[in-house]
Amino acid sequence: MSDHENTEQNEEQESASTIDFEASIQQLETLVQDMESGDLTLEQSLTAFEKGVALARKCQEALRQAEERIAQLSVDDSTRS
C-alpha cells in the first residue's frame, strides 16, 4: 500500500471516529436530558444510565486514542527538527 493510500485510509478512519464520537456525545446529552426530565420510570432510568456509562467509556477511549495520536505526532515533529 502506498503512502498516499495509507494517508487516505487514516483520514477516513479519523473522520469516522470523529462522527462516532460526536454522535456518542449527542446520545449522552439526550440521555441526560431524558433522565433529568423526571419522566422516566426507575427501570427506564437504569437502562438509560447503563447506556450512558457505556457511551461515556466509549468517548473516554476515543479521547485517549486522540491524545495518543497527538503525542505521537508531537514526537514525530520533534525528531524531524
Q: What is the mean pLDDT of each run of 10 residues along the chain (81 residues)?
A: 54 68 94 96 96 95 92 80 59
Instruction: Give the pLDDT of residue 52.
Output: 96
Is the pTM for the entire model greater than 0.75? Answer: no
> How many domains is the chain partitioned into structurally?
1
CATH of the domain at 42: 1.10.287.1040
The domain in which residue 75 lies consists of 3-80
Instruction: Give the pLDDT of residue 75.
Output: 85
Instruction: Give the pLDDT of residue 49.
Output: 97
Cβ distance 20 to 62 under 8 Å? yes
Q: Categorise residue 38: left if φ over 0, alpha if ψ from -120 to 50, beta otherwise.
A: left
Cβ distance 59 to 27 under 8 Å? no
